[in-house]
Amino acid sequence: MSPDRLLRPPRGVAPQPDFTLRRVQRLLQVSVALYALVFGTQSLFVALGEGTGLPPVIGEVVVAVCHLLVAGVAVAGLLGRGARQVNACFAIAYLLVIAMWPVLGSASDPMGHPWTWFLCSLASACAVQAAGLVVSALYVAVASIGYGAAQFLVLPRSEVATTTALLDTSYALMIGYLIVTLWLIFRTAAVSLDTARNAALVRYDEVVRQDVVGAERIAVDALVHDSVLAALQTAARAEDAPGGRAARTMAARAIAVLVSSPDVDPDELRQRTSVAYLRRELASRVAASGAGAVFRDLLSAEGGTLPRDVAEALVRAATQALENSVAHAGGPGVNRCVTLRGGAGNVVIVVEDDGSGFVPATVEPRRLGLRVSIIERMAVFGGDVTLDTAPGEGTRVELRWPAPQDGGATWR
């Protein structure tokens, strides 16, 4: 199976390079919506109670339009649809209102706050959401200074009026730039998180690709060892006509395996097969090995199933362990036994003999029979191997699937 096929994203699922940024933007939308509900309500009550500061008809229309836009900001922010457009409309409308106020309006209380005051910070927050950071920073300056200038122009000239306009302008600038700064901090953190997340996904993709390539290499190495090298070794040991016929048979089988292996359907291997298939295949391999091994069937599950590729890996690894025993444990006097136990959810195969045994540490790394055909093959399919042997004490190879949580290849 190629790495590209394994790593292909699910159909209909698109990558999200701005995963965190989208969520921060959504949080801002909801925050501005709640902000609009609170300060829009307060502004409306002030306008209805203390007047609009504009001519009667014009004042009512302006207040109605502004607060309809405020309501739109709240609804769009809570629903998450059209928030940017509605916020832009309100931010522009607010600038028009404070520009209209000195021309058509008036104010008499230098210590009071008109209804437009309660919408100044909301307009800055809407600008932050609707525009970029540079534009929104400029907007905060224009809206805050514009409000202060309009307030100064409509109030009667006095030291109190001047102080009030300056204080309100300073406060509006402070709140507006606090909003901009917070948005900059959140946005920078979100972009950093998205960058790190995407880099981690890329690294994960590379690791998975390397893992898949490694798994394919192990499968190829095991295939070559089980088929090709076994045939060559048999041919090298053949000293009579029956040995020659056995070598030719194994060579023909190796060629057939190599020719058919590229056409194996990965989906077929991922299908499940019966435990009876595992028993039948293993018994057949033991009988055909010519090792004179006893096959013991201790399976507890008769009707269970397990993945087809796992069953194939178990049979091949067990067959290789038996072939290793025949090749290295000793002659005809050695007793060999293959035991199958467990069930669909926990399969154990034990290949053991009372032969010469060996020291595992002395096995050369270039020998593929133990390392690749048994240990790495089981690891690829989620199993593990326990090897128990010593010189003169025989050899016991235990194949387990799935591997226990503390599993792994162990040698004793």
Of 20-29, 141-150, 257-266, 402-411, the least confident: 257-266
Instruction: Determine the Cα–Cα distance for residues 126 and 5; give it in Å rounded to an integer.
Output: 46
| Of 76-80, 254-258, 265-269, the least confident | 265-269
> Residue 100's closest CA among 45, 152, 59, 48?
59
Residue 404 gets the label, from left (phi > 0), alpha (psi -120 to 50) or beta, of beta
**Token output for 400:** 């387990």
Query: Is the per-residue pLDDT at 60 higher than 70?
Result: yes
Q: What is the pLDDT of residues 224-248, one digit of tens each?
A: 555 555 555 555 555 555 555 555 5
Note the pLDDT tens digit of each residue in 194-226: 788 777 766 655 554 555 455 555 555 555 555
Range in 28-42, 163-177, 185-199, 233-247 the model is least confident about = 233-247
pLDDT in tens, 254-263: 555 555 554 4
Q: Does 378 have pLDDT greater than 80?
A: yes
Q: Give the per-residue pLDDT at 79.
A: 92
CB 383 within 8 A of CB 403: yes
The whole-number average pLDDT for the span 153-168 is 80
Distance CA 179, CA 137 (A): 10
What average pLDDT does the chain have?
77
Question: Span 351-378, mean pLDDT?
Answer: 77
pLDDT in tens, 120-130: 889 999 998 88
Angle between helices 120-130 and 83-104 (to 10 degrees): 140
CATH architecture of the domain covering 268-411: 2-Layer Sandwich (3.30)
Q: Which band of pLDDT confidence, cut at 50, 70 and 90, is reported for residue 357?
A: confident
Residue from 163, 137, 133 nearest 151 by CA: 163
Nearest-angstrom CA–CA distance, 51 and 47: 5
Note the pLDDT of residue 227. 53
Examine the pLDDT at 9 and tell me if it is beyond 50: no
Split at pLDDT 50, 70, 90, the class of 161 is confident
Beta bridge partners of 399: 349, 385
Mean pLDDT of 93-113: 78
| Cβ count within 10 A of residue 398 | 17
- Residue 395 — φ and ψ, nearest 5°? -135, 140
pLDDT for residue 297 is more than 80 = yes
Is 62 a residue whose pLDDT tops 70?
yes
12 confidence band (pLDDT: 50, 70, 90)? very low
Q: Residue 20 contacts by C-beta under 8 Å, 6 or more apart in sequence?
A: 190, 191, 193, 194, 197
pLDDT at 335 over 50: yes
Higher pLDDT, 110 or 90: 90
Return the pLDDT at 291.
75
In this prediction, residue 94 carries a pLDDT of 93
- Distance between alpha carbon 182 and the CA centroid of its chain, in Å? 29
The domain locations on the chain are 19-198, 268-411
DSSP string covering 316-342: HHHHHHHHHHHHHT-STT--EEEEEEE
pLDDT at 251: 57
Contact status, residue 126 vs residue 87, Cβ threshold 8 Å:
yes
Most confident of 51-55, 101-105, 349-353: 349-353
pTM, two decimals, is 0.48
Q: What's the whole-number mean pLDDT along residues 259-276?
A: 60
pLDDT digits (tens, 9 = 90+) for 302-318: 667 888 888 888 888 88
What whole-number percentage of the chain has pLDDT above 90? 18
